[in-house]
Chain A
Amino acid sequence: MFSNFILSLQHELWLFALIMLLLCIKLGSSEIKPAPLLLGINILLGLNFVSGFFFHHSGSLFSEMFISNELKDFQKNILNLGVLLISLQSFVWLKSHQHIIEFYVLLLSSLMGMFFMISAGNILMLYIGLELSTIPLAAAANFNLDKRVSSEAAFKFIISSALSSGVLLLGISFLYGATGTLQLTELSHLIHNTTFLVFTLILIIAGFGFKISAVPFHLWTADVYEGSPVAVTSFLSVISKAAVIFVFTKTLLTAFDPLQSVWPTIISLLALLTIITGNVFAIRQQNIKRLLAFSSIAQVGFILIAISSNTVTGSIATVYFVLIYLFSNLAAFGVVSLISAVTGKENINDYKELRKTNPMLCWVLTIALFSLAGVPPTAGFFGKFFLLMSGAPNNNFAVIVIAALNMMVSMYYYLRVVKIMFMDKNENPVEDIKIPWYSSFALIICVAGIVLTGILSGSYNYIFSIH
């Protein structure tokens, strides 16, 4: 019993220990220099990531409120890896910040919420996890303390997520009213194709749609991404999206299985809207963070196509793509955060002639953008291919055609950045940045991930084996 408890909650307990440790340091000691403190935290996060691979345990706790299995462990490992990479990349930014420990406590609490959300066997648990993951992030978005845009971003984020939580909660309570249970497995027997339940479904999709910024629930995304510190932006765009996507897929595929004549259509419509809107808006962006924000909206659209397939293949493709997306997006954000921390420049036009002054950063960003665009031999190609491939049989032919043609549109804005970095002239280019070792470590992991996850099919086959 006790070992079941520990093994099921291993990820959460590790995180809990970490948070407690940080709080003790904050309360107990006088002053620790930022560099050793950050180094220590990063080592602990690295250990936390590695420890996730050792034990796999399938079991349930708290009368099936909390479920753990190998797939969920893997999903948590993905998030752990992401947090580790973000932490390494924000080293430079945090070193001059006064509130390092608070930042990590917020980030890790949010991660804790996501873990509970992923493991939830009950929609109530899922909701608690979701809230726990959102609220600390709003505080973290405000972490550029002297910038007004940062607090504006935090405000926009908290208001829109409160709204979306409200919508989601309404859906959940309707669901409970109609079926009398919130247990995911039981729901799949109790849901029937009634108008009321379809309405409930729409509310729940809308609630989740806000969190993954699917169009038309995306309006908060660009402003929040632009205003927040880069570390928080990458957390929002990768980690929190990934977590919600895992849960969203799971909920639709299990609980709403009886409504499978309804939700795939809704999701593919949302997917199309999301892809098109994301792409069209990304074309005209001048700020690199806004560009990445809209590109991440478009990426979510592709994921939604796989979800709309309502098959296990689709769900495998989703997890696989999220892993690749994590590497690609974090590589891009890693470069952006480094340049932003050293020079404060975030405009795309400031990146002109980056090739000349910072060849390494320039190539990393290029590879990341190619992966986001889905160009082989980077992993993004495989991810996108499998997403659309799994979505193809169940979808309208037109949906696939439009999505495929949108890959060409997205190519334009990614290549535009590449073109600016390699080909444009600039009198005042970004200075020669010395890449600190932790940043380069994170970037190397990302690039290795981008290059290898696709060509070596191991990770896909592993995800397949645990599904």
Chain B
Amino acid sequence: MNLLLLISVPSLTALIVLFLYEPKKIKAVSFAGSVIQLGLVLYTLKAYYQQKQLNPLNNFFFEKTYAWFPSLNINFHIGIDGIAIAMLLLTAVVVLAGILVSWKVEKNVKEFFFLLLLLSAGAYGFFISLDLFSLFFFLEVAVIPKFLLIGIWGSGKKEYSAMKLALMLMGGSALIFVGLLALYITTSGNGFNWQVVASLNISSELQKIIFPFLFIGFGVFTALFPFHTWVPDGHSSAPTAASMFLAGISMKLGGYGCLRVAVYLLPEAAHYYSPYIIVLATIAILYGAFATMMQQDLKYINAYSSVSHCGFVLLGIGMLTKTSINGAVLQMVSHGLMTALFFAAIGMLYERTHTRMLKELGGLLKVMPFIATVFVIAGLCSLGLPGLSGFVAEMTVFMGSWERVETGYRIATILSCSSIVVTAVYILRATGQTVMGPITNNHFNVLTDATWNERLAAAVLLIAILIIGIAPFYLNDLIKPGTEMMMQKIASSVK
């Protein structure tokens, strides 16, 4: 199994799209490419299990190193473990669904699909990189397509949102860049190899200097309070597929980076800064939840709830226990799927009713039962209903957090738990207002239900959510070796 395939398939699809002219063909090729990619990721999963059985002690599989800039010791080093596969699966599912819901795009079809595929190629590359240089490279590859996707195909105050998003994310990358350079200097020019850096003993003073750069940098991507302000604007202005990619994939790049780069490489500093991270995460959780209550626009509701839910990821990382980190990874996957589903449903509603305002919607269950049901399920998943993925993930984070017995940590855990109540309020309000009750507008009567592509997109996401919700042990077993390896390093750093 050569992991390069995972980058080549989306890149090749993007290249083919560049040379096609008919919108139909472009869509077909993109769809085919993303199906192949999903198959490839599933095959990788199977191959991973086989390899894992043969060498249970190995952490990374299918490792390959290609010389890139040999004189600078920069190599293209790829390899995956369970966590990376989980993220790859998430990406593949969301990309497939995203391409399916964009079937009706008519403006500049070629560029739209090209940018979507480029973004996904960046995400795949990011998750398989074991070299900090290529990791950073792919992280930034995924930024600029978002600017164009939002700015050109978006709605509302799209230019403002696109600019805000691009600048904030570039600011985040600039911080990451500084952090990486600092790591590069401490390795005395040995390059950016992740495993080499991980094996170094970096003095705790130095760790404390570098950690904020890396953590805040990646944190900007995953809506770390107070750098979350791009999330509501960006999500609400983006076209449906871009919202799905943004919330489902792009925000996870940040969480993954926080975990893999900041916390794993600088564990002592992670312990030192853990209270600060937890305070910020708790604020994000509560603030996001309360801000959602006040929103009238469905996309803003989901965007602010994303801030709140991504807070759980950061909370899990900040707590630094094995269960909480496990929970953080679960939450990344679960939130990615759930929020993509939510955005897809909102997009389908908006396409038909041309409004996203709660006040103007109502009774949609009668006219479009499929979409309305999907909408409700996504809401329930976000609310943390048992049997769906959200419950599993949040529960794990809370259990992990409860393992920290210090008073401050306990308070943070309790406060975060209490946000579930607020979540229930806004989710039930939003779903109730939108799909229940009498039909508020006579125009709604003539609207049609989901088309085949929309049904397929929703089905793909729903199946993934249900699998995680009903049988969480599959995903848990997959990511466990990865988190155990992390915990070893983190635990060994505590004196």
- A377 adjacent to chain B (CB < 8 Å): yes
- Tell me whether A408 and B174 are in contact (CB under 8 A): yes
Contact of B152 among A415, A416, A422, A460 (CB under 8 A): A422
Q: Does B450 contact A (CB under 8 A)?
A: no
Determine if A392 and B181 form an interchain contact, defined as CB atoms under 8 angstroms apart.
yes
Q: What is the minimal beta-carbon distance from B23 to any residue of chain A, in angstroms?
A: 15
Is the C-beta of B297 less than 8 angstroms from some C-beta in chain A? no
Q: Does A407 contact B (CB under 8 A)?
A: yes
**Among listed A213-221, A284-292, A381-389, interface-contacting one:** A381-389
Q: Is A263 engaged at the interface, CB distance under 8 Å to the other chain?
A: no
- CB atoms of B163 and A400 under 8 A apart: no
A355 CB to nearest B CB, Å: 8
**B159 lies within 8 A of A461 (CB):** no
Q: Are B181 and A405 touching (Cβ within 8 A)?
A: no
Question: Does A404 count as interface, using CB distance less than 8 angstroms?
Answer: yes
A97–B148 Cα distance when bound, in Å, is 39
> Cβ of B158 < 8 Å from any Cβ of A?
yes
How near does chain B come to A451, taking the closest CB pair, in angstroms? Answer: 11
Interface string of A429-467 (1 = CB under 8 A from B): 000000000000000000000000000010011001000
**B residues within 8 A CB of A408?**
167, 170-171, 174
A256 within 8 Å of B (CB atoms): no
A404 contact set on B, CB distance < 8 A: 174-175, 177-178, 181
Docked pose: A415 CA to B166 CA in angstroms: 9
Q: Is B141 in the interface zone, CB < 8 Å from A?
A: yes
Q: Is the CB–CB distance between B143 and A375 below 8 Å?
A: yes
What's the least CB distance linking A333 to chain B, in Å?
Answer: 22
* Residue numbers in A under 8 Å from B177 (CB-CB): 385, 388, 404, 407
- Closest-by-CB residue of B relative to A316 is B71
CB neighbours (8 Å) of B175 from chain A are 404
Residues of A within 8 A of B151 (CB): 418-419, 422-423
CA of A202 to CA of B143 in the docked complex: distance in angstroms?
Answer: 42
Once A411-B167, A457-B68 are accepted as A-B contacts, the answer to whether A376 and B152 lie under 8 Å apart by CB is: no
Given contacts A419-B159, A423-B152, contact A389 B184 (CB under 8 A): yes
Decide if B69 touches A415 in the complex (CB within 8 Å).
no
Interface range on chain A (Cβ under 8 Å from partner): 20 to 34
Whether a CB of chain B sits under 8 angstroms from the CB of A401 is yes
Q: Name the residue of chain A whose CB is nearest to the CB of B69.
A: A457
Whether a CB of chain A sits under 8 angstroms from the CB of B182 is: yes
Residue A93 CB within 8 A of the other chain: no
**Complex alpha-carbon distance, A415 and B165, angstroms:** 12
Q: Do B69 and A401 touch across chains, with their CB atoms under 8 A apart?
A: no
Taking CB atoms, residues of chain B closer than 8 Å to A316 are: 71
* Cβ contact of B72, chosen from A388, A389, A422, A424, cutoff 8 A: A389
A248 interface residue per 8 A CB criterion: no
A-chain residues with CB within 8 Å of residue B147 when the two chains form the complex:
415, 418
Contact A411 B148 (CB under 8 A): no
B78 interface residue, CB < 8 Å from A? no
CB of B62 within 8 Å of the partner chain: no
Instruction: Tell me the bound Cα distance from A22 to B178 in angstroms.
Output: 52
Q: How far is the CA of A192 from the CA of B174 in the complex (A)?
A: 39
> Are B178 and A381 interface neighbours, CB within 8 A?
no
Counting contact residues on chain B (CB < 8 A from A), the size range is: 20 to 34
A407 touches B174 (CB 8 A): yes
User: B144 at the A/B interface (Cβ < 8 Å)?
Assistant: yes
A463 to chain B, nearest CB (A): 9
| Chain A residues with CB under 8 A of B141 | 376-377
Q: B194 within 8 Å of A by Cβ?
A: no
Contacts A313-B72, A405-B174, A407-B174 given: A375-B181 contact, CB under 8 Å? no
Is residue B162 contacting chain A, with contact meaning CB distance below 8 A?
Answer: yes
A313–B74 alpha-carbon span in the complex (Å): 13
User: What's the minimum C-beta distance from B398 to chain A, rounded to whole angstroms?
Assistant: 36
A370 CB within 8 Å of chain B: yes
Cβ-neighbour of A412 out of B140, B148, B167, B174 (below 8 A): B167
> Across the two chains, which residue of chain A brings its CB closest to B171?
A408
**Closest residue of chain A to B144, judged by CB?**
A375
B171 touches which one: A388, A392, A405 (CB < 8 A)? Answer: A405
Decide yes or no whether B137 CB sits under 8 A from chain A: yes
Q: Do B181 and A376 touch across chains, with their CB atoms under 8 A apart? A: no
Q: Is A2 positioned at the interface, with any CB of B under 8 Å from its CB?
A: no
B70 on interface, CB distance cutoff 8 Å: yes
Which residue from chain A places its CB closest to the CB of B11 in the assembled complex?
Answer: A377
Complex partner residue of A388 from B71, B140, B181, CB under 8 angstroms: B181
Chain B residues in 8 Å Cβ range of A386 = 72
A397 within 8 A of B: yes
Within 8 A of B (CB), among A350-392: 355, 370, 375-377, 381, 385-386, 388-389, 392
Distance (Å) between the CB of B470 and the closest chain A CB? 40
What CA separation (Å) do A400 and B69 show in the bound complex? 22
Cross-chain contact B185 with A393 (CB below 8 angstroms) = yes
| Docked pose: A461 CA to B144 CA in angstroms | 28
Which residue on chain B has the smallest CB distance to residue A394?
Answer: B185
B residues in contact with A422, CB < 8 Å: 148, 151-152
Within A302-325, the residues touching B (CB, 8 Å) are 313, 316
Which residue of B140, B159, B178 contacts A401 across the interface (Cβ within 8 Å)? B178
Q: Would A400 and B137 be within 8 Å (CB), given that A408-B171, A412-B163, A457-B69 are in contact?
A: no
Per-residue CB contact flags for chain A residues 148-176 toward chain B (1 = under 8 Å, else 0) read 00000000000000000000000000000
B69 touches A411 (CB 8 A): no
Q: How far is the CA of A143 from the CA of B171 in the complex (A)?
A: 42
Assuming the A-B contacts A392-B184, A405-B174, A423-B151, are A381 and B72 also in contact, with contact meaning beta carbons closer than 8 angstroms in the complex? Answer: no
What CA separation (Å) do A138 and B375 show in the bound complex? 68
Q: How far is the CA of A416 from the CA of B68 in the complex (A)?
A: 33
Inter-chain CA distance A412–B166, complex, in Å, is 9
**Cα–Cα, bound, A400→B175 (Å):** 10
Complex contacts, A418 vs chain B, CB 8 Å: 147-148, 151
B383 vs chain A, min Cβ distance (A): 36
Chain A residues near B72 (CB-CB < 8 A): 313, 386, 389
- A398 smallest CB distance to B (angstroms): 10
Q: Is the CB of A376 within 8 A of B140?
A: yes
**Residues of chain B with a CB closer than 8 A to A415's CB:** 147, 163, 166-167
Choose among A381, A388, A461 the residue that contacts B137 (Cβ–Cβ < 8 A). Answer: A381
Q: Which residues of A contact B159 (CB under 8 A)?
A: 419, 423-424
Task: Provide the bound-state CA to CA distance between A434 and B178, in Å.
Answer: 44
Instruction: Check B140–A381 contact: CB distance below 8 A.
Output: yes
Within 8 A of A (CB), among B64-102: 68-72
CA A392 to CA B152, docked complex, whole Å: 37
Closest to A377 in B: B141
Contact status B163-A392, CB under 8 Å: no
Asked whether, in the complex, the Cβ of A461 is within 8 Å of the Cβ of B71, the reply is: yes
Partner of B170, one of A355, A388, A400, A407: A407
Residues in A with CB closer than 8 Å to B162 are 419, 423
Residues of B within 8 A of A461 (CB): 69-71
Query: B140 near A397 (CB under 8 angstroms)?
Result: no
Measured between C-beta atoms, what is the minimum distance from B13 to chain A in Å? 16
Q: How far is the CA of A416 from the CA of B163 in the complex (A)?
A: 8
Inter-chain CA distance A411–B144, complex, in Å, is 11
Is there contact, CB below 8 Å, between A400 and B181?
yes
- Residues of chain B within 8 A (CB-CB) of A370 are 144
A429 shortest CB reach to chain B, Å: 16
Measured CB to CB, the closest approach of chain A to B494, in angstroms, equals 27
A355-B111 Cα distance, complex, nearest whole Å:
11
- Please, could you name 26 A-B residue pairs with CB atoms under 8 Å apart, sorted by A? A375-B143, A375-B144, A376-B137, A377-B137, A377-B141, A386-B72, A392-B181, A392-B185, A393-B185, A397-B182, A400-B178, A400-B181, A404-B178, A408-B167, A408-B171, A411-B166, A411-B167, A412-B167, A416-B163, A418-B147, A422-B148, A422-B152, A424-B159, A460-B69, A460-B71, A461-B70
A interface residue numbers (CB < 8 A to B) = 313, 316, 355, 370, 375-377, 381, 385-386, 388-389, 392-393, 397, 400-401, 404-405, 407-408, 411-412, 415-416, 418-419, 422-424, 457, 460-461, 464
* Apart from A316-B71, A404-B178, A411-B167: 16 A-B pairs, beta carbons within 8 A: A375-B140, A375-B143, A375-B144, A377-B141, A385-B133, A392-B185, A400-B181, A404-B174, A407-B177, A411-B166, A412-B163, A418-B148, A419-B151, A423-B158, A423-B159, A457-B69
